[in-house]
Structure 1
Amino acid sequence: MLPRLATIDTWIFDLDNTLYPASANLFQRIDARMTAYVARTLGLDRETAFRVQKDYFLAHGTTLAGLMADHGVDPHEFLADVHDIEMDVLEADAPLAAAIAKLPGRKLVFTNGDKPYALKVLDRLGLGDAFEAIYDVHAMNLVPKPAPSAYAGLCAAFGLDPVRCVFVEDMARNLAPAKAIGMTTVWIDNGSEQGPDEDRSFIDFTVPALAPWLNNILEEA
């Protein structure tokens, strides 16, 4: 193990565009369904709905959080609708599964999606048995990353010492609260959508893909 990470005992991973590459374009399918949901629910044309969707995403962490705050949208209905997509663009990733299996300690998924969707993604990737648990948006009481309460809740739920945790995420802004409580942060800079904040001072590692980085740190003496 890379000496810098020798004391780590918990590995925490975001789901979308982290455990699979953004180039798979799976999340684009969800994005399109979110735009359609906003248009239908608020009676907007597609262009306006897309703008509203992204404004909510930037201001509230997720489109859902904004829709709940301003329009009382049912989160279960919303998540079931936007996650009703084909996952044929995902394939089993044996090298990633092997690398995660070699990591010492606990492994968790920390996602703003819901558990049923996460389980389907993990199954497609061949990672169905790779993680101890999934901490989803419902476990966060529907207050998603990057709200500090989401990270505090994760640590409380699993008895984690943040200083002994690594958090891997494709959304750079979601790493800031993790770093603030002592986690080691890894940004998967693979082209996924980012917010306007250019601050990256809270990122410890910036990598283009997950599996090669995991193999690299495992090979370090």
Structure 2
Amino acid sequence: MNQHASHCKADLSHVNTWIFDLDNTLYPSTSRLFDQIDVRIGQFIAQLFNVDELEARKIQKTYFREHGTTLNGLMTQHGMEPEEFLDFVHNIDFSPLKPSAELEAALNRLPGRKLIFTNADVPYSRKVLARLKISHHFEHIYDIAAANYVPKPYPEAYDLLIKRFEIDPQKSIFFEDIARNLVPAAARGMTTVWVRGDDNWVLPGNDEAKPDYETDDLVAWLDNATSDP
């Protein structure tokens, strides 16, 4: 399919589980919230290894490309405990996030349960959802700790999600801003939607992604998909 929202009305009558990534998916990437986290990750690495900003950036992006997240690279390569890292990088200003009546209405129209699937942790996710005033829509937050610190796009994280919440992949849909993270979901039978932001994620595995749908406006896509024929 691989269609833009304005060109294709999706048939989602089979869907009973709606799975959403958090960052740059449920809020627009133009809020630049994740830019703050990106800076904090660089600062953490610079302090940890006593390197300058440029070298820290290299380490950060190498681990992100090769291990799914910078945290996973630090844990795999250096045996680092995750809590200190997560607390540090998520200590940011959440004020750029604003509630959206349109998002609230779109989520309210979705039948079935709604889940968050994020490489962040629960405390951070709760703050984001609270700022957006949409916490009440989501039955569970499946975070990096729940996935045993195995991040997207590793298949194990998806298998555990499916098992833990008794998800029928054929009756679920996954929304995500990083294309490569859709590949394991599609392989398990989920309908996939790539929520494209203004960031150019040039990552290994992105070219393997063949999402069922693409959009640069989640709310508009949901409105179109759930509107009366």
TM bin, normalised by shorter chain, reads over 0.9
Aligned residues: 220
Residues of 1 paired with 2:135 and 2:10: CA distance? 29
Asked if 1:122 corresponds to 2:136, the answer is no
Residues of 2 paired with 1:94 and 1:151: CA distance? 31
Which shows bigger deviation, 69-78 or 166-175?
Answer: 69-78
What corresponds to 2:93 in structure 1?
A: 86
CA contact (8 A) 1:171 1:192 kept: no
CA contact (8 A) 2:21 2:176 kept: yes
Structure 1 residue 126 displacement after superposition: 1.0
- 2:141 corresponds, among 130, 134, 145, to 134
What corresponds to 1:179 in structure 2?
A: 186
Structure 1 residue 193 displacement after superposition: 4.6
Q: What secondary structure, in the 3-state scheme, does the structure 2 residue paired with 1:186 have?
A: strand
- 1:157 corresponds, among 149, 153, 164, to 164
Q: What secondary structure, in the 3-state scheme, does the structure 1 residue paired with 2:116 have?
A: strand
- 1:48 corresponds, among 52, 55, 64, to 55
Structure 1 residue 4 displacement after superposition: 2.3
What corresponds to 1:213 in structure 2?
A: 221
Residues of 1 paired with 2:10 and 2:153: CA distance? 29
Structure 1 runs of 4+ aligned residues shifted over 2 Å read: none
Deviation string, structure 1 residues 35-91 (Cα, Å, up to 9, x no partner): 000111011110010011000000000000000111122201100000000101001
- With structure 2 as the length reference, what TM-score do the two structures score? 0.93
What corresponds to 2:4 in structure 1?
A: none
CA contact (8 A) 2:169 2:188 kept: yes
Residues of 2 paired with 1:3 and 1:28: CA distance? 32
Residues of 2 paired with 1:45 and 1:147: CA distance? 30
Percent identity over paired residues: 48
Q: Give the 3 Å change call, closer, same or farther, for CA 147–197 of structure 1 in structure 2.
A: closer
How is 1:3-152 mapped onto 2 (pairs within 5 angstroms)? Answer: 4-152=11-159
Q: Give the 3 Å change call, closer, same or farther, for CA 198–137 of structure 1 in structure 2.
A: closer
Structure 1 residue 202 displacement after superposition: 2.3
